[in-house]
Amino acid sequence: MFIKQLYTNCLSEAAYYIESEGEAAIIDPLRDIGDYIALAKERNAGIKYIFETHFHADFVSGHIDLSKTTGAPIIFGPGAVTNFDAHNAKDGEIFKLGKISIEVLHTPGHTLESSCFLLRDENDQPHAIFTGDTLFVGDVGRPDLSSGDMTSEELASIMYDTLQNKILPLADHVIVYPAHGPGSSCGKNLGPNTFSTIAEEKKTNYALQPQTRETFVKAVTDGLNAAPVYFAVNARINQQGYDNIADVTARGTKELSVAELKQRLSEDIILLDTRPASEFTQGFIPGSIFIGLEGRFAEWAGSLLPFDKQLVLVTPAGKEEETVVRLSRVGFDKMEGYLKGGFEAWRAAGEKVDMIIDVEADELMMDIPHDENLQVVDVRKETEFGEGHLKDALNLPLSEMTDVVELAQFEDNQNLYIHCAGGYRSVIAASLLKRQGVHNLRNVLGGWGKIKEQKDVKIIKEASVLN
């Protein structure tokens, strides 16, 4: 028996490769399927099954392309309705894989079709459970993402029964392999590890402690942040189908000359610049939106960019395909090429460029007492802001600054100093503000992390949200 977790940090997503006697199964694959095929080939195995724990909302799965490539059937739990060929397994149905087996446990709550897969070893003993978004390390899946008509409270009540009847009875030694790790928006507060055991979760996971149904429902539903806007898009794509990733990649990696890009800019497109923040602020094509590859790139793209507009890319040299693939993972299919030679080709052609002024935190602190028009704009989450911020700062969370929403109107005489926690989100925010005509702004390098280190800084811990 061989098990490998294939973890993708920028999405906090875990797919799994399971193998016995030359037969392999893949659980919750990403859209780019090359790693799974390569691993099976390397181990002289054939992919026999593709298991999906549910209709994922935070990424586009590779189930359809992987099935077409390998001939392996796609297996969902009970109740999953798809626009493509798939096997709806019964609760308790068993699939043989070499000398081991995988049992389907229907575990609704996160979504109605959510299912876990219990792996039994060569002696038919429970060894590990692949829990999808039903059970995480230290958390459970949020119950507010269902495409049905049920309320979060109703789904949470169903999840209570799932945990009591399907998860808690499992033996303590059973390994827990979830679909996500820390940073995922599919739960409230996932733990730092990407796997655990039933025994450990019984000790430390708030959702598995002895409690009434009412207490559980309140604990699971309280404090949920709004789900990223792209979640509904991805869940629909995973249910209905999508373009082959090879076709998407071919379109997205088409070279465009400076002249061709200028022509495209006269159309209603999004120009996305994925270079490092430190390079973008020093010079970029006017109207560009910055989302750098070095951060949680795909998540921010999915949260901020429209899916119905064509994207044209400006990338670091050699990162064109990576950019396209990572965008495709969250459902972007309308990528129409990239600027050949990158931003330097644009600059070399003598075209107009824009820039964002970077300032150090100490410069901000020196300017505050002497500039009556200075306005600090804090683009961190409301919870981060509430834990500490500068006096008179306005909170405009980046997650609310989508390209299709008219951003807050600032006065022409205001000098905006924009910051986040470390400097990544603030550059995204600055690019969005510039795109909407707000140009009198500065980006605070190092963000709140540097600001709070300054001498005599006064930290406020109360709400002051810009609406």
pLDDT tier, 467 (very low <50, low <70, confident <90, very high otherwise)? very low
Give the least confident one: 111-125, 390-404, 435-449: 390-404
Per-residue pLDDT at 39 exceeds 90: yes
The pLDDT of residue 462 is 65
Cα 262 from Cα 267, distance rounded (Å) = 9
What integer is the mean pLDDT of 229-257? 95
Per-residue pLDDT at 278 exceeds 50: yes
Per-residue pLDDT at 229 exceeds 90: no
Residues 334 and 253 in one domain: yes
Q: Which of 232, 262, 289 is at the close of a domain?
A: 232
Residues 340 and 366 in one domain: no
What integer is the mean pLDDT of 134-161? 90
Give the least confident one: 95-99, 291-295, 337-341: 291-295
Q: Crossing angle for the helix pair 152-162 and 213-221, nearest 10 degrees?
A: 120
CATH classification at residue 420:
3.40.250.10
Residues 335 and 378 in one domain: no
Residues 203 and 120 in one domain: yes
Strand 335-339, strand 196-197: pairing: unpaired
Residues 227 and 247 in one domain: no
Distance of CA 246 to the CA centre of its chain: 22
Per-residue pLDDT at 156 exceeds 90: yes
Full domain range(s) for residue 249: 243-348
In 3-state terms, the chain is what percent helix, strand and coil (to 5)?
Answer: 30, 25, 45
The pLDDT of residue 96 is 98
Q: Which of 210, 232, 254 is at the close of a domain?
A: 232
Residues 297 and 369 in one domain: no
The pLDDT of residue 289 is 97
Residues 250 and 207 in one domain: no
Residue type at 140 in one-letter notation: V
Residues 329 and 395 in one domain: no
Residues 185 and 212 in one domain: yes
280 within some domain = yes
237 within some domain = no
The pLDDT of residue 466 is 45
465 within some domain = no
Give the least confident one: 40-54, 58-72, 120-134, 143-157: 143-157
467 within some domain = no
Residue 69's alpha-carbon distances to 26, 53, 63, 75, in angstroms, are: 13, 20, 10, 16
Residue 125's alpha-carbon distances to 77, 128, 162, 175, in angstroms, are: 21, 9, 21, 12
Residues 375 and 311 in one domain: no
pLDDT tier, 49 (very low <50, low <70, confident <90, very high otherwise)? very high
Widest distance between CA atoms in the chain: 75
Q: Rounded to the nearest 5°, which phi and psi values hold at 402?
A: -70, 160
86 within some domain = yes
pLDDT tier, 69 (very low <50, low <70, confident <90, very high otherwise)? very high
48 within some domain = yes
User: What pLDDT, in 10s, does the model give residues 342-391?
Assistant: 999 999 999 999 999 999 999 999 999 999 999 999 999 998 999 999 99
Q: Collect all residues with Cβ–Cβ distance below 8 Å to 159 and sequence separation of at least 6.
A: 108, 109, 110, 134, 140, 141, 143, 216, 220
Structure tokens at 369: 């007492």
What integer is the mean pLDDT of 338-342? 98
Residues 333 and 436 in one domain: no
The pLDDT of residue 147 is 55
74 within some domain = yes
The pLDDT of residue 194 is 96
pLDDT tier, 465 (very low <50, low <70, confident <90, very high otherwise)? very low
CATH classification at residue 144:
3.60.15.10
Of all residues in the chain, the percent with pLDDT exceeding 90 is: 87
Residue type at 453 in one-letter notation: E
The pLDDT of residue 464 is 47
The pLDDT of residue 404 is 52
The pLDDT of residue 228 is 86
Q: Which of 348, 380, 415 is at the close of a domain?
A: 348
Side-chain-facing half-sphere of 353: CA atoms under 13 Å? 18
pLDDT tier, 28 (very low <50, low <70, confident <90, very high otherwise)? very high
Per-residue pLDDT at 216 exceeds 80: yes
User: What pLDDT, in 10s, does the model give residues 389-427?
Assistant: 999 999 999 998 875 555 667 888 999 999 999 999 999
197 within some domain = yes
The pLDDT of residue 408 is 62
Using alpha carbons, select from 60, 61, 68, 162 the residue that is nearest to residue 111: 162
Residues 97 and 221 in one domain: yes
The total number of structural domains in the chain stands at 3
In sign, the C-alpha dihedral spanning 221, 226, 232, 234 is negative
- Output DSSP code: residue 308: S
What integer is the mean pLDDT of 156-174? 98
